[in-house]
């Protein structure tokens, strides 16, 4: 039995081991991919052991050492990070299996580099999940950006170069100009960068070291600086990154990368500001005036609606999913910024629900591409007869994303709506409801039309993508329903953090 410290160490070392093994066996594809799968399963096992500890109230800690004099790289696992780590490592197994099927079915080049960068990104995601202070989080965040760049530009053509440029350009600029600035500013004011329950800014604020306006500016710097959360107007990198092979889009742009973004925002809100501070601070000090997070809430609500509207106009399936992701991320950002108990829990829960649902949708998009070489929704009419499993999974996952029972997403959206009421902004609930309607409009017709055979055409023959692609997407689709019945346990775990 390993000590908690060793468990953390192992769970961070395993993805790095995977990077090494992938490079080592680069010339023997079966061995290389076998290693990826074995390591990902081991990692999930270790993460589950850690989860048991954390959910029982323990807070395992690991100090690596000083990276910069006075600033430590330190890990401390709390429930939110643990849930994120579980999601990321669990879905890594399925994505690896799926990616093997996809990359081989597609005869992609540079598969070794691909799988190595993939594992490096998981390492970054776990480091971010376990981070005990802002410096550690920032380092993990940037490692994630750099390690996913070769994945986004995997195809190496002109389009990939352009997409990569937007991807790196936006993520690096926002993180350096805003996020890093906000971190150093926080350190300057609070004298510490640690994540502390209740926040680290309350004390300095009470002492008058920062004004409400300053606090509002700091919150805005964090919210925009964490560009991975894709809050409008810094969302362009996400659709641009869709030039990547679909497994990348699936894991990284539905789970790891974007979720690191919203996860970081939640962490900042809960452990740096403290939800009480955000809820109770008004810019001018009187109750009737705007709070420091209000205008960001409106922006997030606008982001939810606008991204949904844009999604409706996209005929390319991956582009539509990309905008859908932007919209769903804004739900989580909104949940964080509303800073009420239910909204934060809803945000945390939506990380899980959306991850499982959206990865299914991306898996389906990839399976359709591998099986039928179709990218555009308008070409998919009648395809459901050929790929019934894929499209059935698509429908199930869509229901979860929309927030209808029996999809897991219904719970997280419920808590978010309650959060709107709790924080006295009930009308924002309207934005959530309208957006849900829009979700129905842009997701559900895809599988429905696929099952309708166009007039005058023979129903297509059964022609699914390879099993390695189809099985993972069925598992995640089932998962998004099963989660509906486990929402209670997630709720209880998240209750520990508010």
Partner 1 sequence: MIEQLIQFLDVVSKSPHLPVLLIAIPLVAAPLLILIGNRKLVQILSLIVAWVVFGISVAMLGRVLATGAFEYQLGGWPSPYGIVYRVDHFNAFVMLFVSALGALVLTYSPPSVAAEIPRSKHYLFYPSYLLCMTGLLGMCVTGDLFNVFVFLEISSLSSYALISLGKTRRAPLASLQYLILGTIGATFFLLGIGLLYQITGTLNMADIAEKLAASDAKRAELVAFAFMTVGLFIKMAVFPLHTWLPNAYTYAPSVVTTFIAATSTKVSVYAFVRMVYTIYTPKFAFETLPLDRAMVVLALIGIFVASIAAIYQTNVKRLLAYSSVAQIGYMLLGIGLATEAGVAAGVVHMFNHAFIKGGLFMVVGCFALRIGSVRLEDWRGAASVMPMTCFAWAVGGLGLIGVPMTAGFVSKWMLLTATMDAGNLTVAMLMLISSLLAVVYVWKVVEAIYFSEPSEKVKAAKEAPLTMLIPTYVVIGATVVFGCWTVYSAEIAQLAAKALLNASGVVQ
Write out the residues near partner 1 by the rule CB under 8 A.
65-69, 71, 138-139, 142-143, 146, 153, 156-158, 160-161, 164-165, 168-169, 172-173, 176-177, 180-181, 184-185, 187-188
- Residue 86 or 193: which CB sits closer to partner 1? 193
Residues in the chain: 498
User: In 153-256, where does DSSP find H-type helix?
Assistant: 158-174, 181-190, 202-206, 212-225, 237-240, 246-251
CA-CA distance, 171 to 261, in Å (whole number)?
A: 10
With left for phi above 0 and alpha for psi between -120 and 50, is residue 373 left, alpha or beta? left
In the complex, minimum distance from the CB of residue 208 to partner 1, in angstroms, rounded to a whole number: 15
CA-CA distance, 262 to 146, in Å (whole number)?
A: 18
In the complex, minimum distance from the CB of residue 319 to partner 1, in angstroms, rounded to a whole number: 22
In the complex, minimum distance from the CB of residue 161 to partner 1, in angstroms, rounded to a whole number: 4
Residues sharing a CB contact under 8 Å with residue 45, sequence separation 6 or more, in sequence order: none
Burial class (CB in 10 A: 0-12, 13-18, 19+), 57: exposed
CA-CA distance, 84 to 90, in Å (whole number)?
A: 10
- Residue 221 or 278: which CB sits closer to partner 1? 221
CA-CA distance, 417 to 350, in Å (whole number)?
A: 12
- Residue 142 or 464: which CB sits closer to partner 1? 142
Q: Two tokens at 194?
A: 């640690």
CA-CA distance, 129 to 84, in Å (whole number)?
A: 6
In the complex, minimum distance from the CB of residue 368 to partner 1, in angstroms, rounded to a whole number: 28
- Residue 182 or 432: which CB sits closer to partner 1? 182
- Residue 173 or 313: which CB sits closer to partner 1? 173
In the complex, minimum distance from the CB of residue 185 to partner 1, in angstroms, rounded to a whole number: 6
- Residue 162 or 492: which CB sits closer to partner 1? 162
In the complex, minimum distance from the CB of residue 174 to partner 1, in angstroms, rounded to a whole number: 10
- Residue 55 or 185: which CB sits closer to partner 1? 185
Residues sharing a CB contact under 8 Å with residue 317, sequence separation 6 or more, in sequence order: 365, 368, 375, 376, 377, 380, 446
- Residue 24 or 176: which CB sits closer to partner 1? 176
- Residue 161 or 463: which CB sits closer to partner 1? 161
- The answer to whether 387 and 394 are in contact (CB under 8 A) is no
Cis-peptide into 406, omega within 30 deg: yes
Query: What are the b/e assignments for 222-244, b being 16+ CB within 10 Å?
Result: bbbbbbbbbbbebbbbbbbbbbb
In the complex, minimum distance from the CB of residue 217 to partner 1, in angstroms, rounded to a whole number: 10
In the complex, minimum distance from the CB of residue 96 to partner 1, in angstroms, rounded to a whole number: 25
- The answer to whether 416 and 432 are in contact (CB under 8 A) is yes
CA-CA distance, 245 to 109, in Å (whole number)?
A: 11
In the complex, minimum distance from the CB of residue 104 to partner 1, in angstroms, rounded to a whole number: 23
- Residue 175 or 342: which CB sits closer to partner 1? 175
- 326: nearest Cα among 403, 439, 418, 407: 439
In the complex, minimum distance from the CB of residue 168 to partner 1, in angstroms, rounded to a whole number: 7
């Amino acid at each position: 039995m390993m000590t908690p410290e060793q468990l953390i160490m192992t769970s961070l070392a395993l993805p790095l081991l995977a990077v090494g093994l992938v490079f080592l066996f680069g010339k023997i594809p079966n061995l290389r991919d076998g290693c990826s799968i074995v390591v990902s399963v081991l990692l999930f096992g270790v993460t589950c052991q850690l989860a048991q500890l954390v959910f029982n109230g323990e807070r395992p800690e690991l100090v690596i050492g000083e990276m910069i004099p006075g600033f430590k790289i330190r890990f401390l696992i709390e429930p939110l990070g643990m849930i994120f780590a579980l999601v990321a490592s669990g879905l890594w197994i399925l994505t690896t299996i799926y990616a093997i099927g996809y990359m081989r079915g597609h005869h992609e080049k540079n598969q070794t580099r691909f799988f190595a960068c993939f594992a490096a990104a998981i390492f970054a995601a776990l480091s971010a999940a376990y981070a005990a202070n802002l410096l550690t989080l920032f380092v993990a965040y940037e490692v994630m950006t750099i390690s996913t760049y070769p994945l986004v530009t995997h195809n190496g053509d002109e389009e990939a170069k352009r997409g990569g440029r937007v991807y790196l350009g936006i993520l690096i600029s926002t993180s350096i100009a805003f996020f890093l600035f906000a971190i150093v500013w926080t350190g300057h004011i609070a004298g510490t960068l640690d994540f502390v329950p209740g926040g680290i800014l309350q004390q300095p604020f009470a002492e008058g070291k920062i004004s409400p306006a300053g606090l509002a500016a700091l919150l805005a710097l964090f919210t925009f600086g964490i560009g991975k959360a894709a809050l409008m107007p810094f969302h362009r990198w996400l659709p641009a990154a869709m030039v990547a092979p679909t497994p990348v889009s699936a894991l990284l742009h539905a789970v790891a990368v974007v979720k690191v973004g919203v996860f970081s925002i939640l962490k900042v809100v809960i452990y740096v500001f403290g939800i009480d501070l955000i809820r109770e601070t008004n810019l001018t000090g009187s109750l009737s005036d705007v709070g420091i997070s209000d205008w960001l809430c409106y922006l997030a609500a606008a982001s939810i609606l606008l991204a949904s509207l844009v999604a409706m106009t996209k005929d390319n399936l991956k582009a539509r999913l990309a905008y859908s992701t932007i919209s769903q991320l804004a739900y989580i950002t909104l949940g964080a910024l509303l800073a009420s108990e239910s909204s934060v829990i809803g945000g945390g829960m939506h990380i899980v629900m959306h991850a499982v649902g959206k990865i299914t949708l991306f898996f389906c998009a990839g399976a359709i591409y591998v099986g039928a070489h179709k990218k555009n929704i308008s070409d998919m009419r009648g395809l459901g007869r050929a790929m019934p499993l894929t499209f059935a999974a698509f429908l199930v996952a869509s229901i979860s994303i929309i927030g209808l029972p029996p999809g897991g997403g219904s719970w997280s959206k419920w808590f978010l709506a309650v959060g709107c009421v709790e924080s006295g902004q009930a009308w924002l609930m309207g934005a959530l409801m309208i957006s849900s309607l829009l979700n129905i409009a842009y997701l559900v017709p895809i599988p429905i039309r696929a099952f309708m055979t166009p007039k005058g055409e023979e129903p297509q023959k059964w022609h699914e993508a390879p099993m390695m692609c189809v099985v993972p997407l069925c598992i995640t689709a089932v998962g998004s329903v099963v989660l509906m019945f486990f929402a209670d346990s997630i709720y209880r775990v998240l209750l520990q953090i508010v």
